[in-house]
Amino acid sequence: MHAGLSGTMSAVAALLTASFAAVSAAQTSVPAPNVQAPAHDCVLIDTDVDIDDVMAIPMVLRHRRVAAVVTTEGTTTAALGGSALARMLAAPGVAQHIPVIVGASATADRSRAVPAWVAQSRAAMERLNGLLAVPLPPTAADRPFEEDVVQAVHNCRRITILAIGPWSSFARYAPRIAHRIKAVVAQGRPLHSEAEGTKTTAFNCEYDLPSCEAAFQQIRRFHIQAIWVDTPLKATPAYVPTLDMVQELQPDGLPGALRAVLMANQAIWNPDHLDPGFGESFLWDQLASLYILHPALFHKVGAHMEPAAPPDEIRRIWTSDTNSH
């Protein structure tokens, strides 16, 4: 690692530590509504705080009005993942205050054991990809999280949900706000879709299958538009993250904080340095976020959307959108 980059990471980590203390209490609850404020279209982000999630979230924050981020158990636990994400979002220069709401754990009747790689990812991501020496204290929830979600979106005219984690939280809060949900943009592919030619699905559904099935029933019942975004796994060249796209991030503010998080441990995301225990690394949740900002870059394949632009262009846009205000 270059000495300059190491210094930047240390400086960003110090800034994050100082600023988190001032905002952590505010992020455990949602501010009281301002009834005089005008209504806006909003994004609600539902995440399990994996490495691709933290690469996906900043670009949306910088270009859309984000009402809140809900952390759901998956790659991380909801409470510790919430604390880690709140620390990153406390970077100096973040224009919006983003409530981080601790969502649901998996249902008791989930049908699959936790994959072995999840334990490795959890150990890294609950410490911001190893940037923190130890996990932060869990973010506390002082009331049922569904109430915090309802209050966070009280001033949203229409809501787009960016679903980049398991469906455990969505299945509980969606009925409360369904009348205002414009669309759900989800990473992956629809469950049991004939158009996909398969009944298999990816981690976000498999981790808590009962909640996933309940969420899909709600999407149909409430006539919510669902847009599925996935990476073309067999494309050549591959849609993978690269060191170059990360090193082009600005050294300060939220881009600098994200850069420090990513450079703290390349073994969890960089295909050139990937620990075999983590399986594969593709642009997963990053593409779902890019779809919200640039739907024209995608085309339909089966029942889901895939990027029509080449990988180099996708990576360039990710860096540009993450850097720009």
Q: What is the pLDDT of residue 27?
A: 42
Higher-confidence position of 116 and 250:
250
The answer on pLDDT for 129 being more than 80 is yes
Q: Tell me the per-residue pLDDT of 3-60, one tens digit each, with 9 for 90 and over.
A: 444 444 444 444 444 444 443 433 444 444 444 554 899 999 999 999 999 999 999 9
Q: What is the pLDDT of residue 74?
A: 95
Mean pLDDT of the chain: 87
Task: Report residue 199's pLDDT band, with 50, 70 and 90 as the boundaries.
Answer: low
Residue 16 domain-assigned?
no
For 201-209, what is the mean pLDDT?
87
Task: Report residue 162's pLDDT band, with 50, 70 and 90 as the boundaries.
Answer: very high
CA distance 306 to 297: 9
Q: What is the pLDDT of residue 95?
A: 63
Q: What is the pLDDT of residue 196?
A: 79
Residue 86 domain-assigned?
yes
- CATH code of residue 177: 3.90.245.10
The answer on pLDDT for 139 being more than 60 is yes
Question: Phi and psi at residue 104, in whole multiples of 5°?
Answer: -95, 150
Mean pLDDT check: name the lowest of 61-75, 86-100, 206-220, 250-264.
86-100
Q: What is the pLDDT of residue 63?
A: 94
Instruction: Let me know: does 71 contact 85? Beta carbons within 8 Å.
Output: yes
Higher-confidence position of 267 and 109:
267
- Structural domains in the chain (count): 1
133 Cβ contact partners less than 8 Å away, ≥ 6 residues apart = 127
Residue 33 domain-assigned?
no
In this structure, the number of other CB atoms found within 10 A of the CB of residue 51 comes to 23
Q: What is the pLDDT of residue 223?
A: 97
Nearest-5° Cα angle at 238, 118 to 274: 40
CA distance 112 to 107: 11
Residue 298 domain-assigned?
yes
- Peptide bond preceding 115 in cis form (omega within 30 of 0): no
Q: What is the pLDDT of residue 25?
A: 39
Task: Report residue 107's pLDDT band, with 50, 70 and 90 as the boundaries.
Answer: confident
Entry field: residues in the chain:
325
For 260-304, the DSSP string reads: HHHHT-GGGT-TTS--GGG------HHHHHHHHH-GGGEEEETTE
Residue 29 domain-assigned?
no
Residue 11 domain-assigned?
no
Residue 5 domain-assigned?
no
For 153-175, what is the mean pLDDT?
97
The answer on pLDDT for 94 being more than 90 is no
What percent of the chain shows pLDDT beyond 90?
A: 71
For 153-181, what is the mean pLDDT?
97
For 62-91, what is the mean pLDDT?
95
Higher-confidence position of 238 and 196:
238
Task: Report residue 200's pLDDT band, with 50, 70 and 90 as the boundaries.
Answer: low
The answer on pLDDT for 88 being more than 80 is yes
Higher-confidence position of 22 and 75:
75
Domain of residue 298 covers 38-323
Residue 18 domain-assigned?
no
Task: Report residue 111's pLDDT band, with 50, 70 and 90 as the boundaries.
Answer: low
Q: What is the pLDDT of residue 239?
A: 98
Let me know if 199 is exposed, middle or buried by CB neighbors in 10 A (0-12, 13-18, 19+): exposed
